[in-house]
């Protein structure tokens, strides 16, 4: 029974190239769905079967993500905006999957969320706020961070949110920023705490 949805980008030149790669057993990678830039949805693996899309990582204490998640590949090179037809198709698909498997919105995550320091997809151009607004992903909080940011407190909040992969402070900060503050750089600051819900855990 799938309990999570993991979003990826293909980082390839086209949906057809990604489709060929995902369907070739030589590459040992697969996903349940692929969505093209034009909004075409390709069903590649039955939802009740394991696909090889997540790899090493963890979310909310779950380490075997391949066995417990549905992987959705998005036709995107990692640098470009996600076209409207693709996003609309994704929203419809995610909504259907959430209902079909009784998955809560907070279990819709990015590959970068569960594999900090190793993966960055769906990347800095992905519009998480759009999914949050439609209750298709856990909404970010709008709290105020501490005057003196502390790495230990940030880690505790991130872990409570779901970031349970065993990574160093830099990789954890990068993963949280990819989700909530993709253009932020530099050391940990108060604003990094706000989306995680400081004072709510």
pTM summary value: 0.95
Token pair listed for 65: 């993500």
Q: Report pLDDT digits (tens) over 95-127.
A: 999 999 999 999 999 999 999 999 999 999 999
Please state, in angstroms and rounded to a whole number, the distance separating the CA atoms of residues 122 and 71: 12
Residue 25, pLDDT score: 83
- Among the listed residues 100, 98, 118, the one whose alpha carbon sits nearest the alpha carbon of residue 110: 118
Least confident range of 8-17, 21-30, 90-99, 105-114: 21-30
- Verify whether residue 73 is a known catalytic residue: yes
CB 175 within 8 A of CB 122: no
- Residue ranges of alpha helices (H) inside 33-168 are 65-68, 84-101, 111-114, 128-133, 151-161
Q: What is the mean pLDDT of the chain?
A: 95
Strands 108-110 and 33-35: unpaired
All structural domains of the chain, each given as residue ranges with its CATH number in brackets, are: 4-133 (3.40.80.10), 151-196 (no CATH)
**What is the band of 201 on the pLDDT scale with cuts at 50, 70, 90?**
very low
Catalytic residue selected from 20, 28, 47, 73: 73
Residue 165 has pLDDT above 70, yes or no: yes
């Amino acid at each position: 029974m799938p309990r999570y949805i993991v979003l990826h980008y293909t980082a390839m030149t086209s949906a057809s190239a990604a489709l060929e790669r995902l369907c070739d057993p030589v590459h040992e990678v697969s996903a349940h769905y692929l969505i093209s830039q034009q909004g075409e949805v390709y069903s590649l693996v039955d939802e009740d079967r394991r696909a090889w899309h997540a790899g090493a990582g963890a979310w909310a204490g779950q380490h075997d993500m391949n066995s417990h998640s549905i992987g959705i590949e998005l036709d995107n090179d990692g640098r470009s905006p996600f076209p409207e037809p693709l996003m609309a198709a994704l929203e419809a698909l995610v909504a259907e999957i959430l209902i079909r498997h009784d998955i809560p919105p907070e279990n819709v995550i990015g590959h970068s969320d569960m594999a900090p320091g190793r993966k960055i997809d769906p990347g800095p151009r992905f519009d998480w706020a759009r999914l949050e607004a439609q209750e298709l992903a856990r909404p970010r909080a709008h709290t105020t961070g501490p005057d003196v940011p502390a790495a230990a407190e940030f880690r505790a909040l991130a872990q409570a949110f779901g970031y349970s992969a065993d990574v160093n402070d830099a990789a954890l900060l990068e993963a949280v920023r990819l989700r909530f503050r993709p253009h932020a750089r530099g050391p940990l600051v108060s604003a990094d705490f706000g989306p995680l819900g400081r004072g709510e855990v």
